[in-house]
Amino acid sequence: MKTIGVVGAGQMGSGIAQVCAQAGFSVIMNDIKDEFVNRGMDNINKNLDRQVKKEKITLEEKNEIIGRIKTSIQIEDFVPADFMIEAVIENENLKKDIFAKLDNICRKEVVLATNTSSIPITRIGAATKRPDKVIGMHFMNPVPVMKLVEIIKGVATSHETLTITKDLAER
């Protein structure tokens, strides 16, 4: 697994993109407007600047992390993603619409994870042709500080999907 796609560049999405890039993954962070992805990158830069100031990372490491994050406003840019994490607002219809689009864009082996805290994974998975590859990955806020991810299976989520997701969360 090399590339993580993150749908949503708000507080949660940008935090998820940051921790994935810090773990060494290439990241595609997407939102519906340039201003949203730019704001997300600003948040990431500020978070990393604080880490540099506290001497937790070097300036060179910060630049490497930033260099691993590509931004996009086109959902089609997720074609190369090896794992997807959706982190948009808690709106079931919006999430289902995004998952249906990702289902058509992403390779069939790609896991589609949602950062939902309240919507049943089974209902989101039903919007796809791969409910066995749909899982919940609920990150705690603020993502770069909280080292905790709740993993939630749907009724159809496969053991393989659970294992892949657990392995990713542990990185």
Give residue-wise pLDDT tens across range 117-155: 899 999 999 999 999 999 999 999 999 999 899 999 999
55 alpha-carbon distance from chain centroid: 26
pTM of the model: 0.96
12: closest CA among 159, 146, 111, 103?
A: 146
Three-state SS for 134? strand
171 pLDDT more than 90:
no
Catalytic residue among 105, 138, 140, 156: 138
Active-site annotation holds for 159: no
For the chain, which domains are there? 3-170 (3.40.50.720)
- Please write the tens of the pLDDT for every residue from 2-20: 999 999 999 999 999 999 9
Structure tokens, 68: 């691993």
Q: What is the mean pLDDT of the chain?
A: 97
